[in-house]
């Protein structure tokens, strides 16, 4: 038995209120300032890339979160997406930042494990950036290239490896 016209009107009224509430919440979320500071810090020490292919693979799959050369598309200005992207970039840079070599220890074994294990790049990044989903051959080339590049890169003076 189909719902009565009165029930349908009541359901539409409630759905309208819920939709209005969601729009108001989204508008209110735009007032939160976190996630909108899209200034990239300066590059202080970058790797001496062993090949253009290694640099391209790194920039495509890793560079937005693991360097100071982050690309900030339009959707990174809209909360709550901006919060998630900013959190990912902050976390990525804190764990490994190839634009600031010498600030922390780089463990190629951990990088290898993260890439081969499928944890890097993360799923939410691969969904939006289809070209970041690397094939097994590209993963191998990236790991080999990163190993060679980091081994050939001198540590800046006054900094520890």
Domain that holds residue 101: 52-152
Q: In whole angstroms, what is the distance from residue 152 CA to residue 140 CA? A: 18
Q: Are residues 15 and 75 in the same domain?
A: no
Residues 120 and 86 in one domain: yes
Low-confidence ranges of the chain (pLDDT < 50): 160-161
So what's the pLDDT on residue 62? 96
User: According to the model, what pLDDT value does residue 5 have?
Assistant: 85
**Do residues 56 and 26 share a domain?**
no
The DSSP code sequence of 39-97 is PPPPP-B----S-HHHHHHHHHHTHHHHSS-----GGGGSTTHHHHHHHHHHHHHHH--
Write down the pLDDT at residue 1.
72
What's residue 155's pLDDT? 62
The pTM of this model reads: 0.79
pLDDT at 161: 46
Q: Is residue 42 part of a domain?
A: no
Do 25 and 72 lie in one domain? The reply is: no
Can you give the pLDDT at residue 36? 75
Q: What is the pLDDT of residue 105?
A: 76
Domains of the chain: total: 2
Please write the tens of the pLDDT for every residue from 81-96: 999 999 999 999 999 9
**According to the model, what pLDDT value does residue 157 have?**
52
Is the same domain home to 26 and 75? no
- The alpha carbons of the chain give a radius of gyration, in whole angstroms, of 22
What pLDDT is recorded for position 55? 97
């Amino acid at each position: 038995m189909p719902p009565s016209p009165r029930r349908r009107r009541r359901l539409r009224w409630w759905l309208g209120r819920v939709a209005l509430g969601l729009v108001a919440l989204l508008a209110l979320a735009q007032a939160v300032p976190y996630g909108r500071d899209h200034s990239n810090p300066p590059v202080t020490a970058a790797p001496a890339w062993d090949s253009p292919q290694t640099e391209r693979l790194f920039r495509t799959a890793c560079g937005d979160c693991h360097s100071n050369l982050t690309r900030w598309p339009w959707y990174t200005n809209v909360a709550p997406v901006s919060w998630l992207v900013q959190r990912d970039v902050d976390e990525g840079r804190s764990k490994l930042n190839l634009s600031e070599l010498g600030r922390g220890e780089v463990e190629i074994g951990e990088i290898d494990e993260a890439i081969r294990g499928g944890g890097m790049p993360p799923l939410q990044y691969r969904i939006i950036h289809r070209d970041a989903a690397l094939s097994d051959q590209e993963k191998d080339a990236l790991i080999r290239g990163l190993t060679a590049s980091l081994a050939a890169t001198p540590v800046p003076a006054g900094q520890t490896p």
